[in-house]
C-alpha cells in the first residue's frame, strides 16, 4: 500500500492545495499532519492573536478533513524528530508539502529533505503560496529584479496555474495512523488574548472573498485608502495562513471584472497588490 504524508504548514485548506492534491492523486492513502513547532511558537513575531487565529483555522481544518474522509494528525515537538516518528508509526513512503520562502523555513525544509532522502522516502515539494515563484520571474540575464515596476511587467507576461478542486481522502484497509495529540488551546501554547478575532477557516475565507468580489473589489482603486469605506479585501490573514490560495483569489477577482465591464482599473490595482506580495518573496 502506497502511503503518503501531507505536511500542512501555511496551506490550511482542502481546495486548491497543490501538494495535497498531488498526494491524493498519486498515493493510495494520504495522512495529513500538522506539527506545532516550539521554535516557531517562541519566535519574536509569533504572538497571541496570530496563534489564536491559527488555532481557529486548525479547528476548522480538522472538521473539513474529517468530512472529506480523513483524519488530521497533530504533533507537538521538534519538527524533524516528530516527522521521523510519524513515518515510523505509519510506514509511509512519501512526503508532500508546499514550499515556503522564509529563511528559517527553507533551512528547516532542507534538513527535512536530506533526512527523508537518506531514509529512502520520496520527497515532493510544490509551488502553492505564491502566484509566481522567485526564480520564475527574472531579468533577461537571469538575475532577480530589484525594482517593482519592471518585475510586475515581466510577472504579467506569465500565465497563471489553474485552480484545483477540493480533495477527498481514500480509506484503505490496514492503514495505521500515527499517534495524534489533541488540538491544544491557546493557554496550553503559552498565550492569552482578549481581542475579538475574525472568523477563521476555509469556509470563512471563501465567504470573505465572495463578499469582496461583490462590492469592494469593484471600487478598490478609488476606495482602498479610506478606512471608513471598508474598501480593502480583509483577506490578508486568510491568505497568510493559507485558508485560501492566491490563485483562488486572483481567479475570483478576474471573474468579477469580467462580470462588470469598466471595473478593470479597480480590480487591476488589487491584482497589483498580489504582484507586490510575490515580489517581496523574491526580495526575501
Decide which of 107, 128, 149 is a domain's last residue. Answer: 128
260 and 143, same structural domain? yes
| Mean pLDDT computed over 60-87 | 98
Show which of 112, 128, 144 is a domain's final residue. Answer: 128
Query: What's the CA gap between 11 and 20, in Å, rounded?
Result: 9
* Residue 76 domain flag: yes
110 and 21 belong to one structural domain:
yes
Whether 14 and 88 share a structural domain: yes
Residues 46 and 82 occupy one common structural domain:
yes
Q: What is the pLDDT of residues 16-61, one digit of tens each?
A: 999 999 999 999 999 999 999 999 999 888 999 999 999 999 999 9
- Domain endpoint, select from 104, 128, 152: 128
Answer whether residue 40 is part of any domain: yes
**Is 56 inside any structural domain?**
yes
Mean predicted confidence (pLDDT) in 111-123: 97
Q: 16 and 155: one domain? A: no
Into how many domains does the chain fold?
A: 2
Q: Is residue 102 part of a domain?
A: yes
Domain assignment present for 63: yes
**Per the domain annotation, does 111 fall within a domain?**
yes
Given pLDDT bands bounded at 50, 70 and 90, which one contains residue 172? confident
Question: Is residue 253 located within the same domain as residue 270?
Answer: yes
Residue 245 scores a pLDDT above 70? yes
Question: Which range of residues forms the domain containing residue 14?
Answer: 3-128
| Domain co-membership, 210 together with 284 | yes
Q: What is the CA radius of gyration of the chain?
A: 20
- Cα gap 224→174, rounded to integer Å: 54
Residues 123 and 137 in one domain: no
Residues 136 and 81 in one domain: no
Q: Give the CATH number, domain containing residue 34.
A: 3.40.50.620
Given this model, what pLDDT does residue 260 score? 93
- pLDDT for the residue 28: 94
Classify residue 209: in a domain, yes or no. Answer: yes
Adjacency order of strands within the sheet including 122-126 = 73-76, 29-36, 3-7, 94-98, 122-126
Instruction: Answer yes or no: do 136 and 25 share one domain.
Output: no
Q: What is the pTM of this model?
A: 0.95
| CATH (domain of 226) | 1.25.40.80
Tens digit of pLDDT for each residue in 187-224?
999 999 999 999 999 999 999 999 999 999 999 999 99
d(CA 167, CA 69): 10
Read off the C-alpha cell for 232: 480593502
Instruction: Clarify whether residues 202 and 95 are in a common domain.
Output: no
Nearest partner of 53 among 230, 234, 210, judged by Cα: 234
Q: Is residue 175 part of a domain?
A: no
Task: Check whether residue 55 and residue 19 sit in a common domain.
Answer: yes
Amino acid at each position: 500500500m502506497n502511503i503518503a504524508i501531507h505536511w500542512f504548514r501555511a496551506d490550511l485548506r482542502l481546495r486548491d492545495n497543490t501538494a495535497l492534491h498531488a498526494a491524493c492523486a498519486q498515493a493510495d492513502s494520504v495522512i495529513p499532519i500538522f506539527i506545532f513547532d516550539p521554535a516557531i511558537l517562541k519566535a519574536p513575531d509569533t504572538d497571541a492573536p496570530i496563534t489564536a487565529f491559527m488555532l481557529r483555522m486548525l479547528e476548522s481544518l480538522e472538521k473539513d478533513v474529517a468530512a472529506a474522509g480523513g483524519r488530521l494528525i497533530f504533533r507537538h515537538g521538534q519538527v524533524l524528530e516528530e516527522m521521523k516518528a510519524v513515518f515510523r508509526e505509519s510506514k509511509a513512503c512519501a512526503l508532500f508539502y508546499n514550499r515556503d520562502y522564509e529563511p528559517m523555513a527553507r533551512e528547516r525544509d532542507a534538513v527535512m529533505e536530506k533526512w527523508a532522502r537518506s531514509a529512502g522516502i520520496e520527497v515532493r515539494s510544490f509551488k502553492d503560496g505564491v502566484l509566481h515563484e522567485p526564480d520564475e520571474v527574472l531579468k533577461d540575464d537571469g538575475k532577480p529584479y530589484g525594482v517593482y515596476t519592471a518585475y510586475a511587467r515581466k510577472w504579467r507576461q506569465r500565465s497563471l496555474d489553474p485552480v484545483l478542486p477540493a480533495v477527498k481522502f481514500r480509506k484503505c484497509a490496514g492503514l495505521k495512523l500515527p499517534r495524534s495529540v489533541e488540538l491544544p488551546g491557546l493557554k496550553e501554547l503559552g498565550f492569552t488574548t482578549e481581542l475579538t478575532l475574525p472568523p477563521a477557516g476555509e469556509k470563512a475565507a471563501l465567504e470573505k472573498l465572495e463578499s469582496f468580489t461583490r462590492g469592494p473589489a469593484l471600487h478598490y482603486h478609488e476606495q482602498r485608502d479610506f478606512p471608513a469605506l471598508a474598501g480593502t479585501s480583509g483577506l490578508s490573514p486568510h491568505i497568510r495562513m493559507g485558508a485560501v490560495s492566491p490563485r483562488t483569489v486572483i481567479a475570483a477577482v478576474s471573474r468579477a471584472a469580467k462580470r462588470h465591464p469598466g471595473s478593470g482599473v479597480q480590480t487591476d490595482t488589487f491584482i497589483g497588490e498580489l504582484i507586490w506580495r510575490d515580489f517581496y518573496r523574491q526580495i526575501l
